Amino acid sequence: MKKEFVVVTGGLGFIGSSIVEKLLNLKFKVVNLDNLTYAANLEKLKKFNSFKNYYFYKCDITDSKKLNRIFNKYKPKYILNLAAESHVDNSINNPKNFINTNIIGTYNLLVETNKLHQKNYSIKFVQISTDEVYGDVVKKNKSSKENDAYSPSSPYSASKASADHLVRSWSRTYGIKYNITCSANNYGPYQNNEKLIPVIIKNIVSKKKIPIYGNGLQKRNWIYVEDNADAIIKIALKGKDNSTYNIGSNNDFTNKFMVKTICKILCKKFNFNKRIFKLIKYVKDRPGHDVVYKVNFHKIRKELNWKPKENFNKSITKTIRWYLKKFK
């Protein structure tokens, strides 16, 4: 059993639960802080509770007193901050929750990290961010690099950008060690129902319209959640201190392509009728909707010898099969 304690915030979320499971299997002592919001996976909580190296706390990261007690008790070597409000539509309708969790919550975690740092404990803060902080990649064939200026377009991406700046400033001012990861769009089993791929499959199963914003030509880089989790852990353990890493793949697809691809797979491999294509409905575009997100992930490939393992066709089929079992 490894001696190091790792605090993972948001460890019952989509990406967080994948990271927690991998860390437990690597024999780290994992302290999982999750507020058990609508996005929490209670099925994973039951599974994790069977591990002797697992410690769970229902905790809102805006609760500074509770964070202080937990940090003082475990004195973690790594903090992986995945606790976040993350749905762009929700940030447009209710930005206050995003300011509180994503900015104030990160501030509270940094305060506790610095308290241990000032007492000479070895500790690293890993901030899990998003490709959306870079904003729209307007130039054809361009991709966002780690040293590019931030240009967030939504309350969600602005809150994540703010948190990233706080992390860098705490390093510059107080000397804490950090990494920031900017990941592409994740997909896979266990994602919350409000996200694009679950919405597509759930609506098809329910014979409801599949909404596509605008003309559907918004392009995103897609990465399987297990690949992203592997990359984040590798960055935490082996990444260069005080450095940012983009995490991406070679899967650059429009929303329209994703919807039609899922429909094709459902027809070809799961015997759905081709009439499901008629469920596609183009709706009014989201305010401030960026057209293209694309990260350059050459740095993590070169420095850490990481690249995504999952084949898109196999992993999206695996994902579809999982959601069909859930929604049928």
- For this structure, is 132 an active site residue? yes
The answer to whether 216 and 284 are in contact (CB under 8 A) is no
The catalytically annotated residue of 156, 190, 224, 293 is 156
The catalytically annotated residue of 34, 132, 227, 230 is 132
Tokens 């506790």 correspond to: 112
Handedness of CA 101, 54, 1, 24 (dihedral sign): negative
Distance CA(224)–CA(3), nearest Å, equals 30
Distance CA(81)–CA(108), nearest Å, equals 11
- Closest C-alpha to 79, from 135, 4, 142, 3: 4
Contacts of 11 (CB under 8 A, 6+ apart): 17, 19, 20, 30, 32, 33, 34, 82
- For this structure, is 131 an active site residue? yes
- For this structure, is 156 an active site residue? yes
Distance CA(271)–CA(11), nearest Å, equals 36
- Closest C-alpha to 93, from 25, 156, 144: 156
The answer to whether 222 and 249 are in contact (CB under 8 A) is yes
The catalytically annotated residue of 131, 148, 164, 230 is 131
Would strands 185-187 and 210-213 be described as parallel, antiparallel, or unpaired?
A: unpaired
Distance CA(67)–CA(35), nearest Å, equals 12
SS3 content of the chain, % helix, strand, coil (to 5): 45, 20, 35
Q: Which residues are part of the catalytic machinery?
A: 131-132, 156
